[in-house]
Structure 1
Amino acid sequence: MSAGLLLLVCAGAVLYSAEAQDPYTELPDYYKKGVNLTLEQLNSHVGVHHHFRFLRSLEKSDIESGFGTRYVFHNFYLKPTWCPKGTPTSSPQRCPFRNDRPLMDCAVCYKTAEDQIQTNPKPYLDCIQKPRLTEAMRTARIAHCKKMNYNSGAPTLLASKLPS
């Protein structure tokens, strides 16, 4: 009887873990675009030999400034996988994580209009292996994103005063 119950519990655990959502798929599209941009840049680097996958978000913020414009800041971890760079895979999300390499701590900030990343201001990307990230580097990232010129446009009609 107890063996049957144990088998039932194990089968339930396997089914539960199989249905668990990948953290990347749960991100809103405007955050996914920043992760994708970061992965493209990272994979184009000569020193990177394996694919990376999104692991989890550390900090997220977005400001919607109207007219389909949004300003996004996203700090997240990427984890290396066993799939070599350049190997055609139908989905990089299927590459198994490897635990013998450090995580990449990435920060990205950018402007989107109609859900497309804009080139002005230029998107800011910064990734470094987690053990090498210092508090000064973290502060510099945030300062860089804060000083980017985020101008949401002219004052609206409601903000203007009518003559008396």
Structure 2
Amino acid sequence: MAALLLLLLSSVGALFLASDAQEAYDKLPQTYRGGVDLALEKINSHAGIQQHFLYFRSVTKSDIEPGFDVSYIYHHFYLKATKCQRGTVDSSACRFRNDRPLVDCAVCYKTFREEIEQEPKPYVHCIHKPALTEEMKVGRVEHCNRMGYSSGAPTLLASTGAD
């Protein structure tokens, strides 16, 4: 009887943890989910990755909205390995592993009407957290700052017509 109770409690706990993983992703605004999807796509393209990864939590989120339905998004977040194999389609039953380091990701991209634009090319940088250096952190932010202003969007409203 005790074994049955233990099995029931661990099953409920597993469902709770798995639903928390999906719930964290579902709570993100759509514009940020797109960046997480880009990072997951990049992680899953590496042949050496064996586990299925899921969004774990955000560290920093910021956006610039210069107008005309355009936004520049910067999102720093963690991905965490699950007990599911890479390529798992339905991740609702995937539980997080606590024996693997987090993957630290930073993404930045331009959106138009909440859809990611292909130009400028979205920037995705993911690395296991223990390998992340201060130089990498600075490089991420500098790259994203340059990308956000390379289109000239912030100066668009400053232009005057030649009437």
Name the TM tier (shorter chain).
Answer: 0.7 to 0.9
| Unmatched 5+ stretches in structure 1 | 1-13
Question: Which residue is 2:120 aligned to?
Answer: 121
* 1:62 aligned onto 2:63: yes
1:71–1:150 Cα contact (<8 Å) kept: no
Q: How many angstroms apart in 2 are the aligned matches of 1:96 and 1:53?
A: 9
1:111–1:117 Cα contact (<8 Å) kept: yes
Q: How many angstroms apart in 2 are the aligned matches of 1:145 and 1:95?
A: 32
Structure 1: 4+ residue segments shifted above 3 A? 17-21, 153-156, 158-163
Relative to its length, the structure with more helix (as a share) is 2
Q: How many angstroms apart in 1 are the aligned matches of 2:56 and 2:34?
A: 15
| Structure 1 residue 27 displacement after superposition | 0.7
| Structure 1 residue 25 displacement after superposition | 1.0
Question: Which residue is 2:141 aligned to?
Answer: 142
| Structure 1 residue 159 displacement after superposition | 6.2
| Equivalent residue pairs, number | 146
| Unmatched 5+ stretches in structure 2 | 1-12
Question: Which residue is 1:160 aligned to?
Answer: 160
Question: Which residue is 2:131 aligned to?
Answer: 132
| Structure 1 residue 160 displacement after superposition | 3.4
TM-score normalised to structure 1 length: 0.79
> Aligned residues: percent identity?
47
Amino acid across the alignment from 2:142: A
Per the alignment, in what secondary structure is the counterpart of residue 121 of structure 2? coil
Amino acid across the alignment from 1:108: V
Question: Which residue is 1:4 aligned to?
Answer: none
Per the alignment, in what secondary structure is the counterpart of residue 31 of structure 1? helix
Pair 1:57–1:83, CA change in 2 (3 A): same
Q: How many angstroms apart in 1 are the aligned matches of 2:60 and 2:85?
A: 29
TM-score normalised to structure 2 length: 0.79
1:2-81 maps to which residues of 2 (within 5 A)?
A: 22-81=23-82
